[in-house]
Homo-oligomer: A and B are copies of this chain.
Amino acid sequence: MENENHVNHGEVVNDIENEAPLDGNGNRRYWSEFPERNMSYTGPLLVKRTNTTSQIAIVGANLSPIESLDYEMFENEIFKQDWRSRGKIQIFQYVILKWGFAALIGLGTGLLGFFSNIAVENIAGFKLLLVSDLMYKQRYILAFVALAGCNICLAAAAASLCAFIAPAAAGSGIPEVKAYLNGIDAHSILAPSTLFVKVFGSILGVSAGFVVGKEGPMVHTGACIASLLGQGGSRKYHLTWNWLRYFKNDRDRRDMITCGAAAGVAAAFRAPVGGVLFALEEAASWWRSALLWRTFFTTAVVAIVLRAGIQYCATGKCGLFGEGGLIMYDVSTANVTYRGADILAVLLLGTLGGVLGSIYNYLVDKVVRTYSILNEKGPGFKILIVVTIAFLTSCCAYGLPWLATCIPCPDDPSVSCPTVYESGNYKNFHCPAGHYNDLASLFLNTNDDAIRNLFSTRTFKEFHISSLFIFFVTIYFLGVVTYGIAVPSGLFIPVILAGAAYGRLVGRLFESISKLDTGLYALLGAASFLGGTMRMTVSLCVILLELTNDLLLLPLVMLVLLISKSVADSFNKGVYDQILKIKGLPYMEAHAEPYMRNLVARDVVTGPLVTFSGIERVGNILHILRTTGHNGFPVIDEPPFSDAPELCGLVLRSHLLVLLKGKNFSKDKVLTNQNILQRLSALDFAKAGSGKGIKLEDLDIEEEEMDMYVDLHPISNASPYTVVETMSLAKAAILFRQLGLRHMCVVPKSQHRPPVVGILTRHDFMEEHVHELYPNLKPHRWTE
């Protein structure tokens, strides 16, 4: 076997470095270069890119190693014995747990979402009150110092959490969750420390007045909660429960994290149906009807938790947290009637929104790449950047309202105008009594309140055209430069803010020909921007409807989303896909690229293969585990156990380690199936949480045991998915992706050859890998 040895960990890296021309961007961390040549890396490595056409960089340092997840049913003897032994009680336990966990995920995400809302409203509200008070006393410079000081302190705190405790918590989190659900497990992404920093970092970051949202982070939070439950306690501290064993596999964890992502959106937008659709359309890579139902249940729990929380807070026990309601930006009071001219205006709105959205994505891409280089210089640098942006944001928020003219308050006696000691509408700023400053009403408010102001209906002339323009441009660029700094930062709110300002601006410009309310224009503007950046359709549509409680707008919202998405798609990819690419996560698309039709499976198999015999020498196994990083090995039966060499299955590194730890060795080459089946149970082979499980160093094999034999049959997956070497790469990729595989065996076409030609992993289907092997292959695009 040894003569067929594969490239090992060190060799891969050398290999790449030897080939690699400099790409002008210096050294870069690149994940997808070595995700799953079956190795579990102990840390990211500096490599140079071999392929200059696609630029790959990574955001943040200290990123954890990544591994593929395994969604295939691993059918070895031990698991099959376990399945057969499961009776009615076990099924009952499983079903109870499945739904119980879904409820817990909903409960946890709902509570955390509610908590962070209360915290933000109180912290930011206190800050804004302080500034209002100082402005009222005409101590203008002190007011600026207070604003900037608060913002910088909060920002620095958020950045420190991120930089020192959990770098993985920076950014939106949606791309990482999307990657996880695609089968990419980056260990620290869903760790408890990440959850902690995500929640508190997000509260601090949003309170600091950054143009960021807490929506993306909420999705990440939901996924983290689901992941923690899915780990199933700690065996180390004996904090586990026998019932949980059924969940110790990647399939059930994937389902739970899908529920978590949906719960996150549901909690962030108070949109339970929108949450389900978001999980379905954007987050998840695999889906089935049963999961739809469970996700729906989770978001229903979130809705109930939020409703209960709001009812509790309605009694005034939550400090500055306002009344709220299950619907955030209610526009249902507006009269929705539209004519031809309105439709034309809306078409224009959608088109422009698509263009602006794709430009936004382009700029975000550039900025994130720049930050990712700067961020690698160390935590201090990260914090410095965050503080700089916080200062810039404070300057804009405080400085720009001076440009606005004071507007007399509206006649409506039901609103208090201007508000001095309250957050919300009609900020006074430097204006005399009875007047308000419209720019300050947007800038010196929380983001939620600013959106509520922009969406407000029947307040046609509330904002000047010039103010809307200034606000739009500022938010657009602040949003771009803020994403990628080391704080948890959602993208939804910046996009909705900029889009709403843009929409309201267009509404004001078309006021002579269009009868649609400017509040509705703001909503449609937000839709067009969301469509232009995120490129979702149905889920955004439903989220917006649930946010604004107006079903009559549905046809217009659909129209705007379709147009803006179509326009933007002709320029570049959605913002989450871009970030996935920047992070170098080996994301597998659901379709095969056309160039793959010109290759066969054999063409991308690289390096020699390491296989084991059905009954293998312990020393051999240890040596191979030590010298290679592979996570999966074909097992070959040879005479006398079969007539000719034949593939009898596939073993995983993690299972081998458990088997070796169990020391079921025999002196001779004999089948010891029954013995092993009795001594080891499925629970021993349960998949450990990310980065956990038995390590090679934990083994304690004595010298005389090295020459003994161990029977690999009971732990071999006897039904690995295989492809013939001449199978078109496109079809192999679809098989791999659709079934959520981790390893796929390539078998020879003709007889009289070894029974396995190679193993394909996620890595082998990546465009970078294929282009490295075949630099001249032109990606010919034929839309499927």
Contacts and interface: CB of A to CB of B under 8 A. Distances in A.
Interface stretch (A34-42, A466-474, A642-650, A669-677): A642-650
Interface in A738-784: 738-739, 747, 749-752, 780-784
Given A273-B542, A288-B590, A75 B722 contact: no
A730 B73 contact: yes
Interface stretch (A151-159, A554-562, A623-631): A554-562
Nearest to A285: B289
Contacts of A752: 643-644, 751
Interface in A695-751: 718-719, 721-724, 726-728, 730-731, 734-735, 738-739, 747, 749-751
Contacts of A719: 600, 724, 726-728, 731
8 closest residue pairs by CB, A with B: A300-B558, A719-B728, A719-B727, A751-B751, A738-B738, A303-B555, A719-B731, A296-B537
A286 B738 CA distance: 11
B292 A281 contact: yes
A288 B783 contact: no
A184 interface: no
18 contacts: A75-B731, A86-B782, A251-B784, A272-B558, A277-B277, A287-B287, A292-B537, A293-B562, A293-B565, A297-B562, A299-B558, A300-B555, A303-B554, A546-B551, A647-B724, A721-B731, A722-B724, A735-B735
A272 B554 contact: yes
Contacts of A731: 72-73, 75, 719, 721
Given A75-B597, A300-B558, A642-B750, 8 more contacts: A84-B780, A273-B538, A281-B289, A288-B591, A292-B537, A644-B752, A718-B728, A735-B735
Chain A interface category by residue count? 35 or more
A349 to B, nearest CB: 16
A309 interface: no
A555 B273 CA distance: 10
A575 to B, nearest CB: 15
A94 B554 contact: no
A268 to B, nearest CB: 16
A343 to B, nearest CB: 10
Given A296-B538, A300-B555, A728-B718, A289 B781 contact: no
A558 B296 contact: yes
A564 to B, nearest CB: 12
Tell which of A293, A541, A643, A730 has the most Cβ of chain B within 10 Å.
A293
B562 A296 contact: yes
A374 interface: no
Nearest to A539: B292
Given A276-B538, A591-B288, A749-B646, A94 B738 contact: no
A83 B597 contact: yes
A498 interface: no
A722 B722 contact: yes
Interface string A648-687: 0000000000000000000000000000000000000000
A139 interface: no
Nearest to A90: B782
Interface in A40-91: 72-73, 75, 80, 83-84, 86, 90-91
B642 A562 contact: no
B751 A644 contact: yes
Contacts of A537: 292-293, 296
Given A562-B297, A719-B728, A327 B750 contact: no
A718 B722 contact: no
Contacts of A546: 551, 554
A304 interface: yes
Contacts of A730: 73, 75
Contacts of A293: 537-538, 562, 565
Contacts of A642: 750
Nearest to A302: B555
Interface string A302-335: 0110010000000000000000001100000000
A552 interface: yes
Given A73-B731, A731-B73, A749-B647, A327 B722 contact: no
A783 B251 CA distance: 13
Contacts of A75: 597, 728, 730-731
A127 to B, nearest CB: 33
A280 to B, nearest CB: 8
Contacts of A600: 719
Interface in A254-297: 272-273, 276-277, 280-281, 287-289, 292-293, 296-297
A292 B750 contact: no
Tell which of A86, A300, A647 has the most Cβ of chain B within 10 Å.
A300
Nearest to A88: B781
Contacts of A84: 780
A304 B551 CA distance: 14
Contact of A721 (B73, B555, B594, B735): B735
Contacts of A83: 594, 597, 782
Contacts of A726: 718-719
Contacts of A280: 280
Interface in A588-613: 590-591, 594, 597, 600
Tell which of A91, A297, A304, A719 has the most Cβ of chain B within 10 Å.
A719
A534 to B, nearest CB: 12
A545 interface: yes
A282 to B, nearest CB: 8
A549 interface: yes
A304 B72 CA distance: 44
Nearest to A299: B558
A545 B551 CA distance: 9
Contact of A750 (B95, B551, B643): B643
B549 A551 contact: yes
A471 to B, nearest CB: 29
A782 B91 contact: yes
Contacts of A562: 293, 296-297, 300
Contacts of A251: 784
A477 to B, nearest CB: 30
Given A287-B287, A292-B538, A783-B91, A273 B594 contact: no
A444 B642 CA distance: 78
Tell which of A273, A591, A647 has the most Cβ of chain B within 10 Å.
A273
